[in-house]
Structure 1
Amino acid sequence: MSDEEWPGGEPPSPTDLEAAAWCSRLKEMPSDALLAEFRSWIDTSEANAEAFANAMLVAPMKPAERERIEQFLGQSFPALYRPGRKARAGSPGATIHAFPVNDHATRVKPAGSSRTGRRWATAAIAAAAMVALTVGLHPDSPLQSLFSPARAETYATGHGDIQLFTLADGSLVTLDTDSRVEVAIDRSERHALLRQGRARFIVAADPRPFTIQAGNGDVVAAEGAIDVGVDGNAQVELRLRSGSASVQARDTKDKQSESVPLTIDRPVLYAGEDFAPRVVTAPTADTRDWPDGWVEYRTIPLGELIREANRYAKRPIILDDPKLANLTAAGRFQLTETDRFVDRIAELFELRISRRADGIHLRPQ
């Protein structure tokens, strides 16, 4: 939506978009780790709690999905949409599910609950538009007629898979193994959130900015190709491949002053929860061909190389002698072809291969 089409003339804030994303993620059966992450996010600030309450107001959910979230938080949320019932024109038909509130539960109220009804309604409509971008609207929702549908999609790969996706704007996204990205595109902006793994974005030329959220940083590009990765320790790695892009902190008020331009093929690293970008002047690996499974290393411990290959292996590669992990490897390897990779490692280090039920074992001859 353009700025003029948002209530009050203001588009949704990053907090609003995060709240809508949480609604989408919690609709599935969430893991304990995800619930803990959500609890940490909603307890961080009153703004997060209010944004989530507004998102829940308009999020189309099945009763079981809504009840699961409400039970976890220990409170209920108003809902404008009830599955299986048509709302009358001009009446949102809000419903409230009653659950006992735990003594330690966070009290979450829709934004403006102490303000006038008109201002509260404006906040709710803005939240509805934001949820339309991130979660999507049910065909029977009374909000469906209020907003033109936005493109909101989740893309993911399983273990060992590398897959190419085409976005609604013509941009391309290649996802590495075990990766997940959420993309929302409307008429004024393009936004992607990398939850885990690695992705190559080939951004199509477009007047709308393309923002990629990774950890506590936002990568902004207009056109070009960029690799964005979030590892298991929440460390973010950026590698610009072509075009131009910059990264900036998500939480700073003066983002322009914090913007860090990216240089082609020069990695930038920062921790997921902090924003202290560090440029790597002499990377030890050339990863430009990772979408085809290839990586070239100047030097890498064998144990680390095996861990990288195991990210794609259907059966794990196991070094029977721990001392082997300290050997140094170098060269160009296709990590996605497990059998070929194992044969080459065995040849380079004069190792014996033993294929067993629990994996592929390597040991000295």
Structure 2
Amino acid sequence: MREVAATWFAVMRGPDAEVRRAEFEAWLAQDSLHRETYSRIAEIFSLGKGLATPASRQQPAAAVPDRGRARYPIIALSLVVATLGGGAWMIGLAQSALHTKPQSIRAETGPLALNARYATRRGQISRIRLADGSTITLDTNSSIAVAFDKTSRLLRLRSGRARFDVAHEDRPFVVSAGTGSVTARGTVFDVAVQSTGTVAVRLLRGVIDVALSSNTAERLTRKPVVERLRPGQQVVMAGTTLTGARSLSSPIDANWPNGELDCDRASLATVARAANRYGNIRIALADPALGNLRVSGAIRIDDSRKLADRLALLFDLRVDHSDPTRLVLRAP
């Protein structure tokens, strides 16, 4: 019934609303349960505005590729699909046309000093503009060292994750991380140093070369080990290993510089883990089975309290605040 009510809710806010109004009103009059369920969907839709994040006025350092216009011009309707107690239900999440940038993002401009270092604290995402016009978006708990001279642009990602939007010029732009490096001239890419020491490199736009360090490559093959990436591809460096490039269809965290997850039936457990990287208060699940609930839509993850409250409302759960270090989601 909730699936049917959610479908009617979408139809009556779309271009076919007037054509199907008589059919809708007949369905609504059939049973009081229809009206109650429809009202519940409308209520949750309104609450869902706190979860959904619309596009910003200013494009981020690397915009997520356009996935096409929504079918309904008045609102972009996402669906949260949950399975709890054997029943599936859908909830609409509203998206408006404009919003401000996340407060966690801090822009830094001005001339770049040689051998400069930048770091972010937990929960902070910082956008740094370099002297050559390039930008670095530094994720939570990350640090990077930058050194420019007349012939090269050298950077080393010491920890965490960063997105690089590289200005095109003759000097090579080289980012070192782990046992390898990334060379680019004008492109957009992510580099992430995992807690295990492995390094993931993902290309969003342009072309880059990912290579193991000279010493590592020579020990292995006596020749350079290089992988050239195309947009949408990723490689992983793990010690003396460089995996082959593989394509990523739609990464859940492609829009991380704006503090968002782009979820397409992502598990609640995945959403909680991502949010816990940013918040000082963790989101925990009282029952591991709750982690199988599925979420779709653009979801803000840089405010743990708000996220936990919205998820609880949308999934008919409750938030246990008894532990000051955790927000525990429980079944009623």
Q: What range describes the TM-score normalised by the shorter chain of this pair?
A: 0.5 to 0.7
CA contact (8 A) 1:151 1:168 kept: no
| 1:153 aligned residue | 116
Tell me how many residue pairs correspond in the alignment: 216
- 1:213–1:247 CA distance, 2 compared to 1 (3 A): same
Q: Which piece of structure 1 moves more, 237-246 or 207-216?
A: 237-246
- 1:337–1:255 CA distance, 2 compared to 1 (3 A): farther
| The structure with more strand, counted as a fraction of residues | 2
C-alpha distance in structure 1 between counterparts of 2:223 and 2:126, whole Å: 34
For structure 2, the residue ranges without an aligned partner over 5 or more in a row are 1-111
Alignment RMSD (CA, Å)? 2.4
- The answer to whether structure 1 residue 314 and structure 2 residue 277 are counterparts is no
C-alpha distance in structure 2 between counterparts of 1:255 and 1:207, whole Å: 29
| 1:44 aligned residue | none
- 1:151–1:227 CA distance, 2 compared to 1 (3 A): same
Selected match of 2:217 from 228, 234, 252: 252
Identical columns (%): 34
Residue 259 of structure 1 and its aligned partner are, at CA, apart by 1.9
For structure 1, the residue ranges without an aligned partner over 5 or more in a row are 1-148
| 1:126 aligned residue | none
Residue 328 of structure 1 and its aligned partner are, at CA, apart by 4.2
CA contact (8 A) 1:169 1:204 kept: yes
- 1:327–1:270 CA distance, 2 compared to 1 (3 A): farther
- The answer to whether structure 1 residue 203 and structure 2 residue 203 are counterparts is no
Selected match of 1:239 from 202, 206, 230: 202
- 1:186–1:198 CA distance, 2 compared to 1 (3 A): same
Query: Of the two structures, which has the highest relative contact order with CA contacts closer than 8 Å and spacing of 6 or more?
Result: 2
| 2:319 aligned residue | 353
Q: Secondary structure at the match of 2:312?
A: helix
| 1:174 aligned residue | 137
CA contact (8 A) 1:162 1:174 kept: yes
- 1:349–1:239 CA distance, 2 compared to 1 (3 A): same
C-alpha distance in structure 2 between counterparts of 1:287 and 1:318, whole Å: 20
- The answer to whether structure 1 residue 263 and structure 2 residue 209 are counterparts is no
Residue 244 of structure 1 and its aligned partner are, at CA, apart by 1.9
Cα deviation code 1:118-174 (max 9, x no counterpart): xxxxxxxxxxxxxxxxxxxxxxxxxxxxxxx97111110000000011223332111
Q: Amino acid of the residue matched to residue 185 of structure 2?
A: A
Q: Secondary structure at the match of 1:229?
A: strand
C-alpha distance in structure 1 between counterparts of 2:266 and 2:165, whole Å: 29
Cα deviation code 1:85-124 (max 9, x no counterpart): xxxxxxxxxxxxxxxxxxxxxxxxxxxxxxxxxxxxxxxx
| 2:264 aligned residue | 298
CA contact (8 A) 1:285 1:295 kept: no
Q: TM-score, normalised by structure 1?
A: 0.54
Q: TM-score, normalised by structure 2?
A: 0.59
Residue 231 of structure 1 and its aligned partner are, at CA, apart by 1.6
| The structure with more helix, counted as a fraction of residues | 1
